[in-house]
Amino acid sequence: MDFSQMRLSREPAVYRTEPLVVPGISGYLPEKARGGKDPFAPVVERESRVVVPTREVTCYECGKKSRIPVAALSAHCVHCCAHLTLTDYRLMPGSKKLTRRTLGEVVLPAQTELSLLSIVSGRMVVAGKATGVKLRVMDVLEMEGKAVLEGQVQAGRLEVKKGARVQVSPGLSVESAEIKGMLTARLHATGCVHVRDGGALVGDCHAPDLRLEPGAVHRGTWYPIKS
């Protein structure tokens, strides 16, 4: 009997050089061995490390700092688990008894008069008028135009824009202040109060450091306090 007749094919035997078991997808052949894409194969994407840009925020519940992705619209504080909103708000005329808590920016536009506002925000820009306010700005409070605030005002840093004539009554407490326009208020600061050339502070100032540039005006008494 001629055994050579029993061979079914005269083609040389092909040996697979790649392992049958691919790490991570046990049981599936490598793509090459499958001769193209298998529509039923799981989609396995190559692991890649993406660096997400982050920014630092201060929690309005516990006051501690943490880092969150720049694009996030809300977050949880890693220290106290509080839910933090990061939405920006533009306050509209006619809103009554507004309460807003956000790490974003709140804008009170010019020619807008509101009352009974309760706001905790990351930044705030005030150009309009608000009475009966309870304001806590974690970062920068910007005042411009003919802004008027009446009530409790607390901010990290106060910036009075050039050409502004703003008023805060009875007063406000901040960490630091930079005054380029005219501010009428009783000012309490734990850090430096800087009145720029052309700027004016009308009212008593309680601060460890009051700097008046040449051309700056302070009408009132400076009470140097310990920082």
Binding residues vs Zn ion (CB under 5 A):
59, 61-62, 77, 79-80, 82
| Tokens linked to 85 | 């909103």
| 117: Cβ contacts below 8 Å, ≥ 6 apart | 91, 98, 99, 130, 132, 133, 134, 135, 151
Q: Could you tell me the CA-to-CA distances from 196 to 85, 113, 135, 164 in Å, in that order?
A: 35, 29, 25, 13
> Least distance (Å) from Zn ion to the CB of residue 58?
9
> Least distance (Å) from Zn ion to the CB of residue 60?
8
Whole-angstrom distance, CA of residue 164 vs CA of residue 167? 10
Task: Calculate the CA 96 to chain-centre distance.
Answer: 26
Closer residue to Zn ion in complex, CB, 66/173: 66
> Least distance (Å) from Zn ion to the CB of residue 103?
11
Whole-angstrom distance, CA of residue 81 vs CA of residue 39? 43
Closer residue to Zn ion in complex, CB, 61/175: 61
First vs last C-alpha separation in the chain: 108
> Least distance (Å) from Zn ion to the CB of residue 173?
22
**Cα-only R_g, the chain:** 32
Closer residue to Zn ion in complex, CB, 33/81: 81
Q: Which amino acid is at 65?
A: K
> Least distance (Å) from Zn ion to the CB of residue 106?
20
> Least distance (Å) from Zn ion to the CB of residue 77?
3
Whole-angstrom distance, CA of residue 149 vs CA of residue 59? 24
Closer residue to Zn ion in complex, CB, 127/137: 137
Closer residue to Zn ion in complex, CB, 16/64: 64
| Residue count of the chain | 227
Closer residue to Zn ion in complex, CB, 16/76: 76
